[in-house]
Amino acid sequence: MSRRGALLDGASLPQSGAKVRLVRGELTAEGNIAWRRDGQAGIRFAGEIDVASWVKKVGHTGQQRVDHAIAALRRHEAVPDFNAQAPSLERISLELQVICDRLAGSPTMTVEFGEELVKLDTLAQTLRQLAGKVIA
């Protein structure tokens, strides 16, 4: 990752020229796919980003649970049981985030539903932000 772009790695990446948006927590970066080949693609951001903010380790428990769930999915293991936890805005947002990540990584995901996936991801982030503002 650099101030003007990033290398993407995955089984199902957008075509060259496609508009994309990277999201991590409250951070967003928009740009276009500059090139794509052999399971990798380069994204050129529309503006400069703060790389340190993007790569720093996030320490809150919600992100850690999402990270563990995504890691389990990548290892083809069972996702942690979110149903065993008490319902909360944070739990709902995490479940949505896991669903978004699974859909985004699916080889059968099409550009046709990409905008809807971005909307789901935005809802997950909004719920996570609301969960942080709730007084316990």
pLDDT tens track, the chain, 136 positions: 899 999 888 878 888 999 998 887 778 899 999 999 888 899 999 999 988 888 876 555 566 677 777 778 788 877 766 555 556 777 777 778 878 877 777 777 777 777 778 888 888 888 878 877 654 4
H or E segment at 65?
helix 61-74
What is the pTM for the complete model shown? Answer: 0.45
Q: What is the pLDDT of residue 125?
A: 82
What type of residue sits at position 14?
A: P
CB atoms within 10 A of CB 1: 15
Q: Are 19 and 32 in contact (CB under 8 A)?
A: yes
Q: What is the pLDDT of residue 103?
A: 78
Q: Which of 3, 97, 76 is nearest to 43 (CA)?
A: 3
Q: What is the pLDDT of residue 136?
A: 42
